[in-house]
Structure 1
Amino acid sequence: MNLTKTNPIGLDIVIDNIQSKVYELKDLWEVDLQGYPRCQILTNNNKKTIEAYLGNNDYSSSLIFAEQNKFFVLAGESIEHVSNNYYKTTIEIYFMLNLSEIYPDIKHRADEEVRVDVLNVLHTIPNINVFKVEHNSDKVFARFNNRISQTFEHEYTDDMQPYHYFKVLIDILEYDINQTSCN
């Protein structure tokens, strides 16, 4: 399932394009893959979650645990003006994957193989710059670990076989905030 936005605008058009390309990895990997668009960091009872808006004031359950092969996007906390209606920002794409399902015939840990697959897809997308891949669980979730009084609703497990967590940081070099799209 690839949960996409209907009629995205501005930054969400860029994210929709990235999400569509990454979702095509399900065919290469021959697995069920869950794709989520720009998600929100929510706090409830001092517990943090990352959830996708499903519509009708309904959100997904927390995406911070590995019950399926999935990826989701968090937008940067700021956007920077480039010129006229053009802006730039940084986004993060989080991956939570079961390596044994994706590469069942590889005997070693296939973490590098899945990261290379993702990077090869991302490098085909214009107007973005992949500038960092983080794959240590503490690094992947570092954005949240520094908030002392708040913790995740679900504890993420160590990045151990068969699971692999990583995030890709991407500069969106320039996008038109007024661009529209019809799906």
Structure 2
Amino acid sequence: MLYERTNPIGLDLIIHKAQKKIYAALTKKWDKDLDAYPRCYVLEDESEKRTVEHYISKNEYSGNLIVSESDKFFFTAEDDQERVNNIQFETKVKLYFILDLKFIYPDEPGRCDSKVLADVVNAVDRSGGFTSEYTIVTDYQSVFDSFFYEFDNIQPYYCFRIDLNTIPYSIDSIC
């Protein structure tokens, strides 16, 4: 399911366009539906547990997205937005994936994480809005670094993060 932000502008518009293109490419390639979230928010509870959650509406959030339920991807953008000239900004965006490999390639005899990663990289490269220089983080403890998560058993899930740099964008761009 594609969860879209209403009337995105600026950074949210860059993410919105990439989210739609990545979703379309991967659901077509895999012939499977994914949960595709826009920019999500880092929340901290009273015990200082940090979670990533999708804003639904009226101060209502989805609950922690870092769980091994459903195949999904989501974005966060916690870094500063730096001004590069009079009208443009740039920042870093993190794109997270939690995917059940057996769901995506059920007939594959071995663990197909490299195949899935290649599919994702191709989709991200065609999504626009980001530079071609980025980092892929695959060690699952590093992927979610400071966030709270509980996986009873990570297998057959493949969790990874892509650290992206935006191309310069207008902070109030609506088209």
**Same fold by TM-score, threshold 0.5 exceeded?**
yes
Q: Take 1:5 and 1:125, find their aligned partners in 2: how far apart are those partners?
A: 17
Give the aligned partner of residue 43 of structure 2: 42
Equivalent AA in structure 1 for residue 3 of structure 2: L
Provide Cα deviations, 1:45-99, integer angstroms capped at 9, x if missing partner.
Answer: 2222110001122110210111100001001321111111101111000000000
Q: Take 1:168 and 1:45, find their aligned partners in 2: how far apart are those partners?
A: 29
Contact 1:136 1:159 in 2 (8 A): no
Q: State the Cα distance separating 1:174 from its structure 2 match.
A: 0.7
Give the aligned partner of residue 101 of structure 1: 103
Q: Take 1:53 and 1:110, find their aligned partners in 2: how far apart are those partners?
A: 32
| Regions of 4+ moved over 3 Å | 156-159
Is structure 2 residue 128 aligned with structure 1 residue 133?
no
Q: State the Cα distance separating 1:127 from its structure 2 match.
A: 4.2
Contact 1:73 1:92 in 2 (8 A): yes
1:1-183 equivalences in 2 (<5 Å): 1-24=1-24, 25-46=26-47, 47-129=49-131, 130-142=133-145, 144=146, 152=148, 154-157=149-152, 159-160=154-155, 162-181=156-175
TM (norm. structure 2) is 0.92
Equivalent AA in structure 1 for residue 65 of structure 2: L
Equivalent AA in structure 2 for residue 64 of structure 1: I
Q: State the Cα distance separating 1:125 from its structure 2 match.
A: 3.1
Q: Take 1:107 and 1:32, find their aligned partners in 2: how far apart are those partners?
A: 22
Task: Give the number of aligned pairs.
Answer: 172
Equivalent AA in structure 1 for residue 33 of structure 2: D
TM (norm. structure 1) is 0.88
Provide Cα deviations, 1:114-159, integer angstroms capped at 9, x if missing partner.
Answer: 11111101111334124111111112012x0xxxxxx62x424564
Identity %: 36
Contact 1:41 1:50 in 2 (8 A): yes
- Structure 1: give runs of 5+ residues left out of the alignment: 145-150
SS of equivalent residue, structure 1 residue 84: coil
- Structure 2: give runs of 5+ residues left out of the alignment: none
Q: Take 2:72 and 2:78, find their aligned partners in 1: how far apart are those partners?
A: 20
Question: Which structure features the higher share of strand residues?
Answer: 1
